[in-house]
Amino acid sequence: MYIQKILFSGIIITLFMISCSSSDKETQYQTGDLSVKIDTLATGLQNPWGMEFLPDGRILIVERPGNLLIWGDGQLHGDPVSGLPEIWAHGQGGLLDVAMHPDYNENGWLYFAYASPGEGGGNTAIGRGKLHNNQIVEFEKIFQGQPYSSGGAHFGSRIVFDKNNYLFTTIGDRGVMNDAQNLENHRGTVLRIKDDGSIPEDNPFVDEPGAMPEIWSYGHRNIQGMVIHPETGDLWTHEHGPRGGDEINVSIKGENYGWPLATHGINYNGTVITPDTTLPGMVDPILHWTPSIAPCGLDLVTSDKYPQWQGNLMVGALAGQHIHRVVIDGRQVVDTEKLLQGFARFRAIRQGPDGYLYVLTESPGLFFRMIPKE
């Protein structure tokens, strides 16, 4: 047994590595008052970005280069699923998320967030289709972000449905920061559409001349984590800052979240973006990280598998290479903890139907679940 103790934030984390064989390891982490085992389900993934749990027990995994994979019966199944549209795998763009319709058992719709090519480059789109054997059939694009551009930065994107079957998704500022303050494009926004792509009549900017009617909130830099609180209905998001200034927010109808007029971050070359961290009429972040952790992937724990973590947000961190546990009370953050520090670049985290937390990482490309130890 190899034991290593790591000190950060005043907390000693003990890492246990128990070698079971030359090719199989059980990795146990003691974090705070909960010990977890890493149960590795798949390895060798290429830039995995999102997952969804089908009612029959299979799990869908999307890889950014454009692959849709199926995991089931303890392994990844054969070839990637066919029938997806052309994916613009460019920079941070590609196949970015998958989600079931809330009435999936009745209608069979799966929804995909992906970078779609067009004149001048590409931008984030939403499409839907049905899984038949190992193929997506009846595919249709229901939303296309505007404008297209050749840049490779800040596509978002996540998909969640609320209790009324409205679909929320995100697009980053696409590297053009000031466009996040311009309602005449989709850059730097949270978007809300109906499940067929049509516009809800009560969206905040449907009657504003020139504004994109899908916009729900704006002034965001690049949201790659989103979850709806099952009790309050709040839409929690996190977004990448530049050098510093990553944020957690609750996305509220019609509100402006400040980017780039107000931020805790600076440019990557060290120059100041703005002297303001707060401005009248703009929503301040509930939590910000400086230096950046590069948050990606978000879920809220409701499972009794982790009684110490119930009601907590779980944030994946790319640059930070950990899972950031965020303890909330209403819309306030009351505590945080770093889990699995230095393990990998965390891209997605979801609570599965069995109550366990499932995780996707890149560098290395892993799919695993976290099992509490007695």
User: What residues are annotated to the active site?
Assistant: 154
Q: Are 78 and 134 in contact (CB under 8 A)?
A: yes
User: For 176-190, b where at least 16 C-beta lie within 10 A, e where not — what string?
Assistant: bbebbbbbebbbbbb
d(CA 51, CA 42) in angstroms, rounded, equals 13
Q: Are 298 and 315 in contact (CB under 8 A)?
A: yes
Upper half-sphere CA count for residue 268 (Cβ side, 13 Å): 3
Chain mean position to CA 82? 24
> Which residue spans within 243-340 are E strands per DSSP?
246-250, 287-289, 295-300, 313-317, 322-329, 332-339
Give the dihedral sign, CA 297/299/303/306.
positive
Q: Are 349 and 299 in contact (CB under 8 A)?
A: yes
Q: Are 152 and 91 in contact (CB under 8 A)?
A: yes
Polymer length of the chain: 374
* Plot region of 258 (φ>0 → left; ψ -120 to 50 → alpha; else → beta): left
User: For 18-40, b where at least 16 C-beta lie within 10 A, e where not — what string?
Assistant: eeeeeeeeebbbebeebebbbee
Cβ neighbours around 146 below 10 Å, total: 15
